[in-house]
Structure 1
Amino acid sequence: MEIEMIIACDDGEVKKLGYGKTVISCLSYREVWPEKIKIGIVHTDGLDATSILSYLIKVLGNNKKSLVMFDSITIAGFNVISLPGIEKLTGFPSIVIYNYKPSIKNLLNALRPHFIDSKIRELAINQIKSYEKIESKKGILYIVNRGVNKEDAIEIINSYQFYSRIPEPLRLSHIITSQISKIINPYAN
């Protein structure tokens, strides 16, 4: 699979920022270098992650052959990401990379008692059922891939594992977004 750019997205510290919002960012990575970052705000436990992330991804992708990485199907609490939605809105394949075995049962047990719209969120969470355990060059990971086959996903993950099992674009996106959320937090009210 020919990829010109990796786009990694993550949320910052998930706290109620002012009116229940959380910072997210997407970082573009070309070859071995971070290139650009786009920042957005989503509602904590909302339903706007797919649309806002798609916008940030589309702007960063700029019609280049890109692949998107996430570290979870949920972002900003229980704001769920629809991988088919991301693919439809951006045209890019995606990989969700877990460094632990994901548990649908635990997610649904935490979700159902607290959300009257849990059925909508369950549709996205059920994407995790297709997770696959993989052996990367730095250890075992669990992935959910959309629009990219398992072998290509493993090759891409291996090529970006510089310091840890988590591919560098995703690791760096997490660090940057966590720091941004600390800066924005005091001003969100």
Structure 2
Amino acid sequence: MQKIKEEIRILGIDDGPFDRRKRKTLVVGVIFRGGEFLDGLLSTKIEVDGKDSTKMLTEMVNKSKHKRQLKVIMLDGVTLGGFNVVDVRELFEKTKIPVIVINRKYPDLVSIKNALKKNFEDWDQRWRTILKAGEIKKMDLGNFSIFYQNVGIENEETEEIIMLTLKRAQIPEPLRIAHIIATGIVKGESEGHA
């Protein structure tokens, strides 16, 4: 394994707040050099509770002038815009960029499965897509933990990237900033944390 460069280009992706009565919601991608500074901004819209997140993220990445510089895609969970599930394996295959999924807490898979069953006729397809993201790993960081899944990148490299990007919060900086921007655009002011 080679050492991760301090200024590795990471695309952090998060959605903005959404209203289930509206069809679409904003998704923001921020391009970071390591965990230090913002280098670019991408955006797209996806259907709330839809099935187009993988397609829209793939298009957003593949059409970007920054694509050749990107080394990692980082997602705040596997769902965007409610239960619009990202197929992280397909995202990796179609962009050729490794994907890291970050969660602050271990996902409550039983509650997620029950919510899918209750609200979607195609719940089993969405559930299988969630499971395709792979094993959820725990990274202990002293006074807190981060949970992650990774596709196209080894655990050791994933954890090195997480450490490199933890700067001002208990979540990697690219995700924190993507959340702030998406929330600020949708609501006119940022609030909460990723």
Rounded Cα–Cα distance in structure 2 between residues aligned with 1:129 and 1:160: 22
**Equivalent pair of 1:104/1:128 in contact (CA under 8 Å):** no
Rounded Cα–Cα distance in structure 2 between residues aligned with 1:48 and 1:167: 25
Rounded Cα–Cα distance in structure 1 between residues aligned with 2:65 and 2:179: 17
2:80 paired residue number:
75
Q: How many Å apart are 1:57 and its aligned residue?
A: 2.2
| In the alignment, structure 1 residue 167 sits paired with structure 2 residue 172 | yes
What is the RMSD computed on CA atoms of the aligned residues?
A: 1.8
Q: Secondary structure of 2:54's match?
A: helix
Moved over 2 A (4+): 1-4, 136-139
Rounded Cα–Cα distance in structure 2 between residues aligned with 1:137 and 1:176: 29
Rounded Cα–Cα distance in structure 2 between residues aligned with 1:17 and 1:92: 33
Rounded Cα–Cα distance in structure 2 between residues aligned with 1:60 and 1:168: 22
**Equivalent pair of 2:89/2:133 in contact (CA under 8 Å):** no
Rounded Cα–Cα distance in structure 1 between residues aligned with 2:37 and 2:182: 17
Rounded Cα–Cα distance in structure 2 between residues aligned with 1:152 and 1:60: 25
**Equivalent pair of 1:104/1:126 in contact (CA under 8 Å):** no
2:95 paired residue number:
90
TM-score (normalizing by structure 2): 0.87
5+ residue gaps, structure 2: 189-194
| In the alignment, structure 1 residue 44 sits paired with structure 2 residue 48 | yes
Q: How many Å apart are 1:97 and its aligned residue?
A: 0.7
2:127 paired residue number:
122
Q: How many Å apart are 1:153 and its aligned residue?
A: 0.8
After superposition, the Cα gap between the structure-2 partners of 1:100 and 1:63, relative to the gap in structure 1 and judged at 3 Å, is: same
1:26 paired residue number:
29
1:44 aligned partner, one-letter code: V
TM-score (normalizing by structure 1): 0.89
5+ residue gaps, structure 1: 184-189
2:56 aligned partner, one-letter code: I
